[in-house]
Amino acid sequence: MFEHEYADVNNICLHYITVGSGELIMFLHGFPEFWYEWKNQLAEFGKDYQAVAPDMRGYNLSSKPAEVEQYEMKYLVEDIRALAKQLGHKKFVLVAHDWGGGVAWPFAMRHPDYLKKLIIINAPHPLTFMRELRDNPAQRKASQYILVQRAPEAEELLAHNNYAVLVDSLLGNGLRQGYFTEEDRKAYIEAWSQPGALTGGLNYYRAAHLGPFIGESDELLSAEPSMFMVKVPTLVIWGEKDRYLLSGNLEGLEDYVSDLTVKRIPDGSHWVIHEKPDLINTYIRGFIED
């Protein structure tokens, strides 16, 4: 039974879905998704855990602060810490994809004492990503879309023709192959249509100053490496046909993650969670119950 709840945390209100009871497993979605990205995992892990998937700040039914600065990483990380605390859990499993992973990696660096295990799906560690943007022309080319997300006209472009660009990139293959339904399309369009939701999601890119630019990454890459170490047991699942985040992001990952397991899915794309939900669930369960 999916229950819709709201939590007042970190000066905003987060909407979240909770299923089941027991130890906490929390799922963080990416762009341009919302809690619904994890519906298959909520159903599976709600059998023997408290499975929770929030709408991240800026998305769907959660608060959408107007200022771009309100989407800086310190606020995104604190949202998750405060939500776990409000749910009454001192330690939990964190599972994340895409921008959710962009928040989960720093969360694990700053709050390792909160995490039993970390599971990342197609979301690069910040240092390997910055290195790839600097050194790998293919990753720079794959990241050109970020320039669109940061542009002032991004909302207009993405909302045009009933969100045609977003429908095609996220749902297109699934609608053709049958793992997405018309009901799914309606659910996503409804979430994108919430006032301010498109801007909220895009503000993650704007606040991060992310992009395929030589030079923007240098400051991060010259920082003290120990700040970026992850000491929590970590599983990284990677669909190797990701058009946006190339598999080079996995190289050298063991330098920053002391207890690392990697599962590559050769025929999985960036949206591997939707393409192969049963396999994803098997990998997650195998890792957290090991």
Task: Please indicate whether residue 97 is annotated as part of the active site.
Answer: no
Q: Find the catalytic residue in 15, 29, 71, 98.
A: 98
Task: Please indicate whether residue 29 is annotated as part of the active site.
Answer: no
Residue 24's contacts (CB-CB under 8 Å, 6 or more residues apart) are 49, 50, 52, 84, 87, 89, 92, 93
Question: Which position has the token pair 């994890």?
Answer: 38
User: Six-digit token pair at 157?
Assistant: 């472009």
Task: Please indicate whether residue 270 is annotated as part of the active site.
Answer: yes
Q: Find the catalytic residue in 205, 242, 256, 274.
A: 205
**Distance from C-alpha of 141 to C-alpha of 122, rounded to nearest angstrom:** 17
- What is the C-alpha radius of gyration for the chain, rounded to an integer number of angstroms? 18
Q: Which residues are catalytic?
A: 98, 205, 270
